[in-house]
């Protein structure tokens, strides 16, 4: 039976709403309108939905595995069929697979989950978004090879060769020693570049990116308990990390502010305090941005054929 819902004045779509920053963002956005919770785990989605409803909010759940393009297009179609007026889309879900692994299609898991899946999801939703809707991509400052905390950690920024090469898990030589980091940094560099290209392409929408700061307590904060403890309790309290330290609640608050902003700001890259920041030189190069988007569209069209 088709699901029917009362129209709401504002509806926000949040991916990765089942934990970390996305969960906090969904909770905060539920005070502004209906939230469509998007995640790969139905049980976790149900629990978040019930929690929001218990507090008097309105939420719906849509299962979507961003690492699986068929799941992405099913989820986008399900959301479009709801016919709700979408004021904002928060592309928050993200992983850093360490070590690297592949999707069922044989593509790099991190690059697909963080970039190809969200791009396909956004591309499917854009024609159905009303004028002035906000689309926000959660990226990461480690895409920038000059970012000091990232440099200290031995990260070397985005290592983009091409979209096809990234899907194969191939990165520009000279990258990070830690496996999985180049995939993560490149996925975020592509997300930032695509944000800026899409903002130029669709001036009727507001398309922005956010760096949420260092949130050592979330799922991305550390691969194992000891590493997480050392990172969250010691390392991130010291310079150069302490300056960028945040909490999921704070990061979510900045995201909610950007998602509910009714000004015409578009093509802005926000930092953890909601102030405009500059990313890597490459991500800000319009030619690079267009190259990334053109290659992504060609890759996705080919994959769907």
Ligand X SMILES: NC(=O)c1ccc[n+]([C@@H]2O[C@H](COP(=O)([O-])OP(=O)(O)OC[C@H]3O[C@@H](n4cnc5c(N)ncnc54)[C@H](OP(=O)(O)O)[C@@H]3O)[C@@H](O)[C@H]2O)c1
166 upstream amide cis, omega within 30 of 0: no
Query: How many whole angstroms separate alpha carbon 30 and alpha carbon 88?
Result: 12
Whether 52 contacts 35, CB under 8 Å: yes
Rounded-to-integer distance, Cα 272 and Cα 215, Å:
10
Please tell me the distance from the alpha carbon of residue 304 to that of residue 164, in angstroms, as a whole number. 14
Nearer to ligand X, 79 or 95 (CB): 95
Output 13 or 220, the one with its CB closest to ligand X.
Answer: 220
For ligand X, the binding residue among 12, 20, 61, 166 (CB under 6 A) is 20
Residues 22, 19: Cα–Cα separation, whole Å: 6
The stretch among 29-37, 87-95, 171-179, 276-284 that binds ligand X (CB under 6 A) is 87-95
- State which of positions 231-290 bind ligand X (CB under 6 A): none
- The nearer residue to ligand X, 11 or 272, going by C-beta atoms, is 272
Cβ nearer to ligand X, comparing 218 with 289: 218
Which of 67, 133, 258, 283 touches ligand X by CB under 6 A?
Answer: 67
Structure tokens at 206: 């507001």
- Minimum separation from the CB atom of position 226 to ligand X (A): 18
- Closest CB to ligand X among residues 217, 260: 217
Which of 8, 10, 32, 41: binder of ligand X (CB under 6 A)? 41
What's the min distance (Å) between Cβ of 6 and ligand X?
27
Contact between 147 and ligand X (CB under 6 A)?
Answer: no
- Which residue's entry shows tokens 């990232």? 150
User: Does residue number 19 form part of the binding site for ligand X (CB under 6 A)?
Assistant: yes
Torsion sign (Cα): 234, 238, 243, 244: negative
Task: Give the shortest CB-93-to-ligand X separation in angstroms.
Answer: 3
Using CB under 6 A as the binding rule, whether residue 151 contacts ligand X is answered as no
- Structure token digits, residue 43: 């049980």
The distance from CA 94 to its chain's CA centroid, rounded to whole angstroms, is 6
CB of 240 to ligand X, least distance (A): 14
Report the residue from 22, 57, 145, 180 that binds ligand X according to the rule CB under 6 A. Answer: 22
Please list every residue from 109 through 138 that binds ligand X, using CB under 6 A.
Answer: 113, 138
**188, 143 Cβ separation under 8 angstroms:** yes
What interhelical angle do 42-54 and 20-29 show, nearest 10?
A: 40
Contact range with ligand X by CB under 6 A, out of 49-57, 210-218, 222-230, 297-305: 210-218
- Told to check if 148 binds ligand X by CB under 6 A, we report no
Cα gap 208→117, rounded to integer Å: 18
Tokens 């830690």 label which residue? 178
**Per CB under 6 A, 95 contacts ligand X:** yes
Other C-beta atoms closer than 10 Å to the C-beta of 119 total: 27
| Contact residues for ligand X, defined by CB under 6 A | 16, 18-22, 39-41, 44, 64-67, 92-95, 113, 138, 140, 212, 214-215, 218-221
């Amino acid at each position: 039976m088709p699901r029917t819902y009362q129209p709401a004045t504002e509806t926000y779509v949040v991916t990765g709403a089942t934990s970390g920053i996305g969960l906090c963002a969904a909770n905060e956005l539920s005070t502004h309108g209906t939230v469509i919770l998007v995640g790969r785990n139905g049980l976790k989605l149900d629990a978040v939905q019930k929690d929001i409803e218990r507090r008097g909010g309105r939420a719906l759940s849509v299962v979507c595995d961003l690492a699986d393009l068929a799941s992405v297009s099913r989820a986008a179609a399900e959301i479009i069929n709801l016919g709700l007026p979408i004021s904002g889309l928060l592309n928050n879900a993200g992983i850093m697979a360490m070590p690297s692994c592949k999707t069922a299609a044989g593509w790099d898991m991190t690059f697909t989950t963080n970039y190809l899946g969200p791009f396909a999801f956004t591309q499917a939703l854009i024609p159905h978004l009303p004028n002035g809707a906000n689309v926000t991509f959660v990226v990461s400052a480690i895409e920038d090879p000059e970012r000091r905390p990232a440099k200290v950690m031995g990260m070397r920024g985005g290592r983009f060769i091409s979209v096809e090469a990234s899907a194969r898990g191939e990165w520009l030589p000279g990258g990070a020693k830690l496996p999985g980091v180049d995939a993560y940094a490149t996925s975020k560099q592509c997300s930032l570049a695509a944000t800026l290209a899409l903002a130029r392409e669709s001036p009727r929408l507001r398309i922005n990116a956010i760096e949420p700061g260092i949130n050592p307590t979330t799922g991305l904060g550390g691969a194992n308990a000891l590493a997480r403890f050392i990172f969250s309790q010691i390392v991130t309290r010291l310079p150069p990390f302490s300056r960028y330290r945040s909490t999921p609640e704070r990061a979510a608050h900045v995201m909610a502010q950007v998602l509910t902003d009714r000004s015409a700001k578009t093509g802005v890259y926000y930092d953890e305090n909601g102030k405009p920041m500059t990313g890597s030189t490459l991500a800000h190069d319009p030619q690079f941005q267009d190259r990334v988007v053109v290659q992504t569209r060609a890759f996705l069209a080919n994959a769907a054929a």
